[in-house]
Amino acid sequence: MSHTAHIPSHRKPRRSASKLALRAGVAGGVLGTIAVAGAAGPANAEPVTETIEMPTLGSLDAGTNLASAVAAAAEASQQEALDQNLQSLEQVAFQKASQEAKKAKAEADRKAAAERAEKARLKAEKERKEAEEAAERASRADARTQLTTNSSSNDGGSSSSSSDSGAGASDSDSRTQAPTGSAASIVAFARAQVGDSYVTGGTGPNSWDCSGLVQAAYRAAGIDLPRISYQQSSMGSSVSLSNLQPGDILYWGSRSGSYHVAIYVGGGKYVGAQNSSTGVVERSLDWDPPSGAVRIL
């Protein structure tokens, strides 16, 4: 082992380079100032013993100013980025609100157009039904006029009077006759539908047209009939209106070209699906006298 190993070191700790340079600069400045003062003074001047305070080095102020400038620039950049981000968010929100407003307007326009179309359809449907009812009333009036004319031309003398008298008695008997068998089933079904609505092409169970009701009533008795009114009035055998029986089919118009049918239920009444205004009703024969009748049973 070295003979000096046990001797502790007397070295002073190293100073940082920046501190040494700062102290050297200060010392140099002080010495330079003293030297200049000594050279300018008289030869016998007394040595300067007063310590001179040096001003703060400019390099320190410059560093502080630079750091402040950098911090200010960074803050300005951050603020600009925030402003740009906020502006972008505002633009996105405005575009979204604009799109939603356009969508809402389009939906409102669509609903308004649909409502207008529905009102126009309902109005047209009402006008069509009114026209159909007017045409139906006119046709029935013409049929009654034609039937009256034909009946008048076929009446003759006392024999006709005698026949009418006999027919009247028969008619009175038939109007008070209670239906039985299949006729009872037909009449019961027809009367059960009184109050239902009238719908063109309706076949039940809660809405009917005239031939749809007649077909369903006969089906309740196990009898199949055609669907159309003029086909139904062409079935069976023709009977006089003065000799009706419950279950007979009444028709308006000609037998092979009838435009309306109903079911005679006895007591001088019939049940039929009249029109969209009245629906299925039970009415007297006098309310709308039929053109003729046929018997299927």
Look at residue 281 and tell me whether its pLDDT is greater than 80.
yes
- pLDDT at res. 172: 42
Residue partners of 267: CB distance under 8 A and separation at least 6: 175, 176
Query: Do the domain assignments include residue 50?
Result: no
Q: What pLDDT, in 10s, does the model give residues 170-196?
A: 444 444 466 778 999 999 999 999 999
Query: Do the domain assignments include residue 247?
Result: yes
- pLDDT at res. 228: 94
Query: Do the domain assignments include residue 283?
Result: yes
- Write the CATH number for 251: 3.90.1720.10
For strands 197-198 and 207-208, give the pairing: parallel
**Could you tell me where the beta strands, DSSP code E, fall in 50-205?**
197-198
- pLDDT at res. 127: 76
The span from the CA of 94 to the CA of 238, in Å, is 82
Q: What percent of the chain has pLDDT over 90?
A: 38
For the ranges 7-16, 55-64, 174-183, 215-224, the maximum mean pLDDT occurs at 215-224
Query: Do the domain assignments include residue 55?
Result: no
**Could you tell me where the beta strands, DSSP code E, fall in 106-241?**
197-198, 207-208, 237-239
Residue matched to tokens 């109005």: 123
- pLDDT at res. 50: 53
- pLDDT at res. 113: 87
Q: What pLDDT, in 10s, does the model give residues 28-66?
A: 554 555 444 455 455 454 555 555 555 555 556 677 788
The span from the CA of 276 to the CA of 17, in Å, is 113
- pLDDT at res. 52: 53
Query: Do the domain assignments include residue 264?
Result: yes
How many domains does the chain contain in total?
1
- What separation in angstroms does the CA of 29 have from each of 3, 40, 45, 109, 177? 45, 17, 22, 90, 149
Query: Do the domain assignments include residue 179?
Result: yes
Look at residue 199 and tell me whether its pLDDT is greater than 80.
yes
Structural domain boundaries enclosing 229: 173-295
Query: Do the domain assignments include residue 38?
Result: no
168 vs 136, residue with greater confidence: 136
Contact in structure between 247 and 186 (CB atoms under 8 Å): yes
Q: How many CB atoms lie within 10 A of CB 167?
A: 14
Q: Please tell me whether residue 182 adopts helix, strand or coil conformation.
A: helix
For strands 207-208 and 269-275, give the pairing: unpaired
Query: Do the domain assignments include residue 112?
Result: no
For strands 249-254 and 257-266, give the pairing: antiparallel
